[in-house]
Amino acid sequence: MNILIKNLPETEIAYIRRTGSYFEPQEHWGKLINWAISNGLYPPQQSFIGISLDNPEQVESKDCRHDACVTLPEGFEKENHKEMKFRKLEGGHYALYSF
């Protein structure tokens, strides 16, 4: 696995959170990808990002949280999408790898 450390700007995202083992099926990705494609949000203009929020060595597997995310273009009308969650990722250094 090639890991790249990169400084990224603050970024607006849409996301779906899943709680459970990181090693079980990840259905939330399929839901996010279908929503993103139906709204014209796909590479190369937008990026898909997975965020693992818990360390499975410190948190029980059933309680581990993972966010499946897609970046949003400036001016995206979030209020038209009540089924999605939205937030900003802080800018800063991130470890990146392709999956």
Task: Give me the pLDDT at residue 97, please.
Answer: 82
Contact 61, 21 (CB under 8 A): yes
**Distance separating alpha carbons of residues 6 and 14, to the nearest angstrom:** 21
CATH (domain of 47)? 3.20.80.10
Task: Give me the pLDDT at residue 54, please.
Answer: 96
- Its domain, for residue 49, covers 4-96
Contact 15, 86 (CB under 8 A): yes
What averages of pLDDT result for each successive group of 10 residues across the chain (99 residues)?
Answer: 92 97 92 97 94 95 96 95 96 87
Task: Give me the pLDDT at residue 13, please.
Answer: 98
Task: Give me the pLDDT at residue 31, please.
Answer: 97
Grouping H, G, I as helix, E, B as strand and the rest as coil, residue 1 is coil
Q: Name the domain count of the chain.
A: 1
